[in-house]
Amino acid sequence: MKFNESLENALYSWAANEQQSLTMGYPSVAAGFSEYQSGYRISSRVPSQRELDTLRLIEIGVNRMRQWPDRRPLECLVEQYGAYPEAPPKKARIEKIQNKYTKRVFYQSLKNGKIYLQGIIDIYVESA
């Protein structure tokens, strides 16, 4: 299954927000200056309302996933995107989670988490 690009962008933004490194909008230092950091990239574009809504839905979905009895999808998403403060490089995170779960379980859990979040986006954002 190919996931929506907006899902990937929202997941990177969510991870940056969890790392407390996400800053969006206009900086207060100069009027009219519009450069902001969104996840893993620097952009001179102000985020649209749709992007902000998608990010909010991702955060709601992740919070609902925290209540699931099966913690694997959430753990795999957190490690894949490094959604915690002072996350190590991606290679170290993936090795850590693959020591805990097999590759098959890791990728299946990651896929299940993304399908759930993509469903939330499809229902609430795409229908609007």
- Residue 1: per-residue pLDDT: 43
Task: For residues 90 and 85, give the distance between their C-alpha atoms in angstroms, rounded to a whole number.
Answer: 13
Give pLDDT, residue 12: 85
Pair 56, 123: CB distance under 8 Å? no
State residue 34's pLDDT score: 46
**What is the pLDDT, as a whole number, of residue 31?**
45
Q: What is the CA radius of gyration of the chain?
A: 16
pLDDT at position 64: 93
pLDDT value of position 21 = 60
Instruction: Output the pLDDT for position 71.
Output: 93
Specify the pLDDT at position 107: 93
Spell out the domain ranges in the chain.
5-19+47-124
Q: What is the C-alpha separation between 36 and 31, in angstroms, rounded?
A: 13
Q: List, for the chain, all residue ranges whose pLDDT scores fall below the cut of 50.
A: 1, 26-40
| pLDDT on residue 18 | 82
> What are the φ/ψ torsions at residue 43 (nearest 5 degrees)?
-135, 145
Q: Do residues 82 and 90 make contact, with C-beta atoms less than 8 angstroms apart?
A: yes
| pLDDT number for residue 75 | 93
pTM of the model: 0.76
